[in-house]
Amino acid sequence: MDTCACALELLGMLVYVGAWLCALATTILPQWLTMSTALLPVESYELGLWETCVVQDVGGMECRAYDSLLGLSSDLKLARILMCASLAVGMLGMLVAIPGLYLVNSCREHGGYRTKRTLTIIGGVLGVISGVLCLIPVSYMAHLAVMHFFDDKVPDVVPRWEFGDALFCGWAGGFLLIVAGLLLVTSCICSRVEPQPVLQRRYQVMSTDVSFRKRSEYV
């Protein structure tokens, strides 16, 4: 494998790990949607997948988990399922891609570099799928916030939910997961020439010498 393909592999794995951590932070953080009211300017509200929080300007913060799973809205249920699926697929992709890295000395006796290349491609495809699964709930919740914010039926006095920090973190994590998967797949496309093991090259050289000697003796 050439240096360019090896660098793409390392860059892809580093981006992969960072993007997965961003997706994990997005799932845990309660700042999916935020809301502040003019009636209580010293307090603001935050809505997450697992809890709601009340933040005060003096620095206090009180969070409360949702009482019942069945009482959740379908939007939060869908976001939970897709984010957990994104984390699971991303973790599986990393576990599959790591043995396929060129610098990792594994899987070379079972099929050689072709097996490692296959593992890297599968890990990259799983990374792309994980990124798409992360972008769907984040973008959907942002779409709902925009629709409710510009709803003419709601009076202007009523406070509205706005984008929280977790949405931006989720967008970054989703796009980076897709980029990491594409980098891993691209590294496999760039390394089309399969290097021969050292022992195999030595065996070929020795067999060539032996055949040459036999021909010279016959002559």
Q: Is the pLDDT of residue 155 over 70?
A: no
Does residue 195 register a pLDDT over 80? Answer: no
Continuous segment of H or E residues that includes residue 27:
helix 3-28
* Triad 143, 144, 148: Cα angle to 5°: 120
CA distance 146 to 189: 41
SS3 of residue 33 by DSSP: strand
Minimum mean pLDDT range among 44-58, 83-97, 112-126, 189-203: 189-203
Q: 217 pLDDT exceeds 60? A: no
Indicate the pTM of the whole model. Answer: 0.78
| Percentage of residues in the chain having pLDDT higher than 90 | 35
pLDDT of residue 156: 65
Any alpha helices (H) in 29-151, and if so which ranges? 74-97, 113-149
210 pLDDT more than 50: no
Structure-model confidence comparison of residues 84 and 154, the more confident one: 84
